[in-house]
Every structure is written in C-alpha cells, then in structure tokens.
Homo-oligomer: A and B are copies of this chain.
Amino acid sequence: MHISELDTPAVIIDLDVLERNLRRAQEYFDRHGIRFRPHMKTHKSPEIGRLQVEHGAVGLTCAKLGEAEVMADAGIRDLMVAYPLWGEQKLRRLARLAERCTLTVVFDSAEVAEAISRALSAEGLEVGALVEIDTGMHRCGIAPGPAMVELCRRAADLPGLRFRGLMTYQGFIGGTAAEREAELRAEQDRLEGILGSLSTAGLTWEVVSGGTSPSMFLSHLAPAINENRSGTYVFNDRNMVGSGCVTWDDCAMQVAVTVVSNAVPGQIIVDAGSKTFSSDRSAGEEGFGRFVEDPCLVLEKMNEEHGYTRLNGTSQPHPIGQRLHVIPNHVCTAMNMHDEVWVHRGGEVVDCWKVAARGKLR
C-alpha cells in the first residue's frame, strides 16, 4: 500500500530517514567515546527502541516507570528511569522490573533515595543510582554544594542502591549554535568543579548523564558528560529545524492530513487539530507545523479536530480531499497523540508500529 492510500490523519515515518538519523547519531557518539542512552519518550515505540540498541545504544532512558516496563517487554535489558519515583505501587513495580533488567534510577532527594533503597533491599535487589543535579535549568536537581555531595554519599551507602554518578537536565534548546556551544563550554566548567567536589569527598563515579537533541553534535564540547540521553533526534521536527541543527530532509515523521473544508475565503480546514498535533507551540515561528507541499501555508489555529490553515496570495487552489503533509512543531507530544504509526520506504508502507508506551503516565 502507498501512503497516499492511508486514511487521515495518519502519522507516517520515513524509515530511510529514521535509519539515517539513528546511524549518524551513533557514529558521532562512537567517534567521541560517549555512551548513548537515547530517551524513548519521543517515539514510545518498541520497534524504534530495539533499533536504537541495535545501532549501538547502551540502553534506553525512560521518564515513567510504565514506559520502562513497555521497553523491557520489548526486550531492552538496560534501562534508566530518569525520574524521581515515589509511592508504594511504583516501588513494587520497580522491584519486579529490577528482577528482569539492569536498571538505573535517578533522584534529587534523600526521601526518594531512602524509599527506593528500602523497597529494593527488602527483597535483596539492587539498582544503579544517579543523583540529579541542577546545573542551571532549575527543573529537578539538587544544587552543587555540600548537600549534593552528602546525597551522593547517601546513595553510595544505602543498601539496594549502587551509586553510579550524576544526571543533569540540559534543556537549553533555544538560541543559536554559537550560544549552545558557549553554554556547553560553561557546562563543562561547572561539571569539572562538581566532579572535583565528589573526588575530594572520596566518591567515585562512572556516569554523568546529560545531553539534548539540539546540541547533540556539540556534545564533545562538554566531555564530562559521558552518557547522552537525547531523544528527538530520531524524528526531528519544526523546533529542531528552527534551532539550525538539522534540515527538513532530516525530519522522519510527518502527519498526513486532508483538506475537508474550503468554504471560508482565504482559508482551508484540515482534518487534524490539537488532538492530532498537540498544542505545543514553536519557539520562533508562527503556527503549529510546516506543510511539506506548500511551506507558505500557515497552520495558524487549531481546535481539537480542526486545523485552520491560512492561505497566501500565491497559494494554489486547495480542493476538498487534497492530501497534505505536516511536520509538527514538537514531535514528542505529537507522537503521544497516536496509537499507531505507518512506516514507509519511498512512500510504500512497510509496517505499522504501535506507540505502545503512549499514555504510560505512571
């Protein structure tokens, strides 16, 4: 079947582009001796998780425990849950998952560390542990200083935990490449100081986890970060192109849509809105996505199932039933709207993949 025969709205994945993105990232990290543990939140798909590991990833990063369970079911055997896990139900599930995977957890508080330690050590289990530090993004993460060193020591001492190192969230995704370069060099300076304080305290580490897709190919500028967990690079999106680090040809995911109304002058309505794309905005550009066939069209407004698309003076007529393709602003939240995606090579559908970890919020 050709992608033009798919009913819309439908997510289509260009497998050639996806594979090129996977190869290019892995080759870069291999060249620089950086371990790659990509974040699966972007795709939530067992098939893509397996492809990432087959290409050389050491394992996967997950945000939620339910995502990790899906990836374990898919056969991935080395998983990091990069999120503070809390609550009896989650701790019971964590113990079951630890029996079948190599697991690493992340926390920024003694409360979370101690609860995980109790739950796992009671069953004679152990997981790796990273302490999340705040190097400037002010999301989770304990500030560098004596309390941070003390939490690392606690992680090293607690039963059921094996202290492996640090994690930081480097969400500086805006700005120019030059600004991201400067940010990474400053990050390296910060991390050298932080790691020095661990050494002084007699603590050893094997992992410093960081990284984000827009600065992925600059990761060698902050060599203290020896494990990268970028996610968006598998598909790329309008925000990634806007950041200047990839081109439209690197975008592996599109949403096929259909013109369903052209009754209002100067506008067409496509059969996809905020329940297809998510409402995530673009950092720099107007609208909610880029039309592949006519980049002058502006997806300027959405209701849940309606995409208000502004024509421009030079635009061709857009008849009812016309098929168009949109590259979303933010592919991670757009994928999360869909239960399945169609995979093609050169337009011929070769597979349909479930977004199996969609909705795994716990």
Contact = CB atoms under 8 A, between A and B. Distances in A.
Interface of A: 7-10, 41, 63-64, 83-84, 86-87, 89-90, 108-109, 111-112, 132, 134, 138-143, 171, 258, 260-264, 267, 269, 271-272, 274-276, 278-281, 303-306, 308, 319-321, 332-333, 336-339, 358-359, 361-362
A265 B303 CA distance: 37
A271 B86 CA distance: 9
A274 B176 CA distance: 26
Nearest to A276: B361
A280 B279 CA distance: 6
Given A279-B333, A305-B361, A338-B359, 6 more contacts: A7-B89, A9-B361, A87-B321, A276-B361, A279-B280, A304-B332
A281 B281 CA distance: 11
B361 A275 contact: yes
Contacts of A139: 261, 264, 269, 303, 306, 308
Nearest to A142: B263
Contacts of A64: 305
Copies in the complex: 2
Contact of A278 (B132, B272, B278): B278
A247 B361 CA distance: 29
A362 B9 contact: yes
A336 B305 CA distance: 12
Nearest to A138: B264
A182 to B, nearest CB: 23
A109 B338 CA distance: 29
B86 A258 contact: yes
Given A84-B261, A280-B279, A305-B64, A272 B109 contact: no
Contacts of A111: 319-321
A355 B276 CA distance: 16
A310 to B, nearest CB: 11
Contacts of A87: 7-8, 258, 321
Contacts of A321: 86-87, 111
Contacts of A134: 263-264
A139 B7 CA distance: 22
A61 B171 CA distance: 42
Contact of A337 (B108, B140, B359): B359
Contacts of A261: 84, 108-109, 139-141
A170 to B, nearest CB: 13
A86 B320 contact: yes
